[in-house]
Amino acid sequence: MLEPHLKKPSNKGLPFAPEIMILVTLRYYATGSFQKLDGDVMNICQQSVSRIITTVSNSIALQMKMFVKFPSTVEDINQVKQKFFEVAQFPGVIRCIDCTHIKIRSPGGMSSEVYRNRKGFFSINVQAVTRPNLEFFDLVARWPGSTHDSFIYNSSSVKQSLNIGDLQGQGMLLGDSGYAVSSVCLTPFLSPNSIGQEMYNNYHIKTWNTVERTFGIWKRRFPCLQMGMGVKKETVVAVICACATLHNISKMLDDVMMPSTDDTDDNILISNIDNVPVQENPNSNGFLVRQSVVNRFFYCIVLYFNCFIL
């Protein structure tokens, strides 16, 4: 037996250094691997890795409102409108909206099936509002996978700010066919019956695709969001919010990640076939507002080209 004075001191029960905790968490975000494998790199047990990821993710998520936020001045809003207009010449847009599913393990319990989405796996349905430079304006990450995109939008503060017409409501929101068209939320025509409506759809899709490109870059930057997470549901929400915060910080620091071939327009359009379209009422106020946009902007383009050809 070793003499007491020759025994090496144990680190059991001592806190981990903050640098180690951050590195372990970032490795989990960047690889999406099993926690045991992450722990083996640092010689840390799986239980400690789980606690570290939860602690660090919650700390970063608490800072989300500092980095994921809407513009605060009229000048900032006008700049956003101009940037969106430069994407595809669609007028008056201040934000784009869509939802994406983050795969999780079954949360268990009587209500676990509400987390199973239309594709058959368990997920959190995350609503994001994005800006033209592929950053997040707003993120909602608390709804189970079976929740429809339009329900999340109708329950969100984003819709409320647009309806009351405050500073954040000074412009249009673009969504896909999974949302109901309204006076503040413009969606594509399900069955365009004129050249103007077809042009509207083309310009709309090119502008709205910025939110899909944001999702693509976000998930490639943090593969844990794409591969699925085996942590507790509450920790999943914290990880999602933390990754959104870090994504915006990366954009602020010009840490550019180039779009891949998976972020092309064709792949985005194919991916949206799974969305359940909301039925339209041709006599609704939203339908009339959308048609007025077509009449004001896109028929003028059609007439211009016709005159140019003649």
- Residues 48, 77, single domain; the answer is no
Angle subtended at Cα 29 by Cα 133 and Cα 136, rounded to the nearest 5 degrees: 20
| Residue 270, in any domain of the structure | yes
| Residue 169, in any domain of the structure | yes
Residue 45's pLDDT is 81
Specify the number of domains making up the chain. Answer: 2
d(CA 266, CA 24): 37
pLDDT tens by residue, 221-275: 999 999 888 888 999 999 999 999 999 999 999 887 766 655 544 344 434 435 6
Strands 136-144 and 123-130: antiparallel
Range of the domain at 173: 67-309
pLDDT-derived band at 214 (thresholds 50, 70, 90) equals very high
- Taking Cα atoms as reference points, which of 265, 250, 274, 154 lies closest to residue 209? 265
Q: Which residue's entry shows tokens 């799974």?
A: 274
Give the residue-averaged pLDDT of 95-102.
Answer: 96
- Residues 298, 272, single domain; the answer is yes
- Residues 109, 141, single domain; the answer is yes
pLDDT tens by residue, 170-209: 788 999 999 999 988 999 999 888 898 999 999 999 999 9
- Residues 55, 83, single domain; the answer is no
- Residues 43, 137, single domain; the answer is no
| Residue 1, in any domain of the structure | no
Which pTM does this prediction carry?
0.85
- Residues 159, 42, single domain; the answer is no
d(CA 175, CA 162): 13
| Residue 3, in any domain of the structure | no
- Residues 183, 51, single domain; the answer is no
Give the residue-averaged pLDDT of 2-23.
Answer: 61
Residue 272's pLDDT is 44
Residue 49's pLDDT is 85
- Residues 104, 189, single domain; the answer is yes
